[in-house]
């Protein structure tokens, strides 16, 4: 109940303007900072994060949509996420970053609860987007079809939600902005992390190779597309950093009140921007994307 009150009070605190069509995005970087300097450093920090019982070692995100004073919430979570088994014992190496986990779509009360958890995470940030009715309708349609087609059952970093492959909670909120036509080129560039997964360090599901934890610990990232598998994914840490950069240029950043300290964020007005027309679903270029490659 306390979590529900937190999120609802947050919605009320940013809904004072006349506009009743709002998209609220919540994002939290990893509770324990990840070290991306090398494969060994990354998995060392992920394993430490799991030892500290961190629920979401790669960060978290969620969203609330208020259309004509009706609030809907949506998020996504991995039902299970293992590192020790696949990396330490099964030898998946960097292939683990390409793996798919069972996912569960959270809506209504479950999503409100998770969004409250995201808000309470250290260094959490938010963005509020003022919308028009057409943008609201388009987002609602996307969320309903996302749930109807069970796209969230495949939770994984490489999956592209608008191609129906699956998603993470972060890629779901970014795709929501894309569907509404309010995702800027700068955000696409700054929020996206690109990693070259060295082929000799990549096991399942990318190759049949067994990668020992010692190889992974002493290995390095790839240098180009010829010696690597390329991984693009939306990173909550990069999004939070971008929000902080935007806040730094403003004298009075917006704040959500959680009853104690509040979290900082920014606000955008896209209510005068026409909503995109046509379908928002795209066709995947690679039908084997996210699956084992020979």
Number of Cα atoms under 13 Å in the Cβ half of residue 120: 14
Largest Cα separation within the chain, whole Å, is: 59
What pLDDT is stored for residue 282 in this prediction?
Answer: 87
Strand 70-78: give its sheet, edge to edge: 154-155, 101-107, 70-78, 60-67, 22-28, 125-130, 263-269, 254-256
pLDDT at 251: 54
pLDDT score, position 167: 96
With DSSP H G I counted as helix, E B as strand and the rest as coil, what are the percentages for the chain, rounded to 5?
40, 20, 40
Look at residue 254 in the predicted model and tell me its pLDDT.
Answer: 66
Nearest 10 degrees: CA dihedral of 60, 141, 127, 100? 20
Please, are residues 101 and 156 in contact by the beta-carbon 8 Å criterion?
yes
Residue 266 CA to residue 273 CA, distance in Å, equals 18
pLDDT of residue 252: 55
Can you give the pLDDT at residue 10?
45
Per DSSP, the three-state class of 195 is strand
**Integer Cα distance of 282 and 151 in angstroms:** 13
Q: How far is CA 54 from CA 45, 50, 95, 249, in A?
A: 11, 5, 22, 32
pLDDT of residue 16: 39
Q: How far apart are CA 204 and CA 96, in angstroms?
A: 7
**Low-confidence stretches of the chain (pLDDT beneath 70):** 1-19, 50-55, 251-261, 284-294
Pair 194, 17: CB distance under 8 Å: no
Look at residue 245 in the predicted model and tell me its pLDDT.
92
Q: What's residue 53's pLDDT?
A: 52
Which residue shows structure tokens 């992920």?
46
Number of H helices, E strands in the chain: 8, 10
- The pLDDT assigned to 96 comes to 93
Closest among 61, 274, 149, 185 to 161, alpha carbons compared: 149
pLDDT at 31 (0 to 100): 83
End-to-end Cα distance, the chain: 49
Q: Where are the domains of the chain?
A: 2-269
- The pLDDT assigned to 259 comes to 40
Q: What is the DSSP string of 147-183?
A: HHTTGGGEE-TT--GGGTS-B-HHHHHHHHHHHHT--
d(CA 31, CA 116): 15
| Contact predicate 184/270, CB 8 Å | no
Per-residue pLDDT at 50 = 63
Pick from 50, 144, 133: which is nearest to 88 by CA?
Answer: 50
What is the C-alpha to C-alpha distance for residues 84 and 91, in angstroms, rounded to an integer?
A: 10
């Amino acid at each position: 109940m306390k979590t529900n009150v937190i999120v609802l009070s947050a919605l009320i605190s940013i809904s004072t303007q006349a506009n009743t069509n709002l998209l609220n995005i919540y994002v939290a970087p990893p509770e324990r900072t990840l070290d991306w300097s090398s494969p060994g450093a990354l998995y060392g920090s992920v394993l430490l994060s799991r030892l500290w019982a961190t629920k979401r070692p790669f960060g978290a995100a969620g969203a609330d949509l208020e259309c004509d004073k009706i609030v809907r919430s949506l998020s996504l979570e991995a039902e299970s996420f293992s590192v020790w088994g696949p990396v330490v014992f099964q030898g998946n190496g960097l292939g683990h970053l390409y793996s798919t986990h069972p996912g569960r779509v959270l809506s209504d009360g479950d999503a409100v609860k998770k969004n409250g958890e995201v808000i309470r995470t250290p260094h959490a940030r938010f963005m509020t987007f003022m919308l028009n009715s057409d943008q609201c309708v388009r987002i609602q349609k996307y969320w309903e079809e996302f749930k109807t087609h069970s796209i969230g059952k495949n939770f994984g970093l490489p999956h592209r939600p608008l191609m129906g492959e699956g998603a993470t909670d972060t890629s779901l909120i970014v795709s929501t902005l894309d569907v509404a036509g309010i995702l800027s080129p700068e955000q696409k560039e700054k929020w996206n992390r690109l990693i070259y997964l060295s082929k000799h360090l990549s096991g399942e599901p990318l190759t049949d190779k067994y990668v020992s934890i010692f190889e992974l610990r002493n290995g390095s990232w790839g240098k180009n597309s010829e010696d690597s598998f390329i991984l693009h994914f939306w990173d909550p840490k990069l999004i939070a950093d971008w929000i902080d950069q935007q806040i730094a240029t403003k004298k009075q950043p917006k704040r959500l009140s959680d009853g104690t300290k509040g979290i900082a964020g920014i606000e955008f007005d896209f209510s005068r921007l026409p909503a995109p027309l046509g379908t928002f679903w795209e066709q995947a270029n690679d039908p084997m994307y996210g699956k084992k490659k020979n």
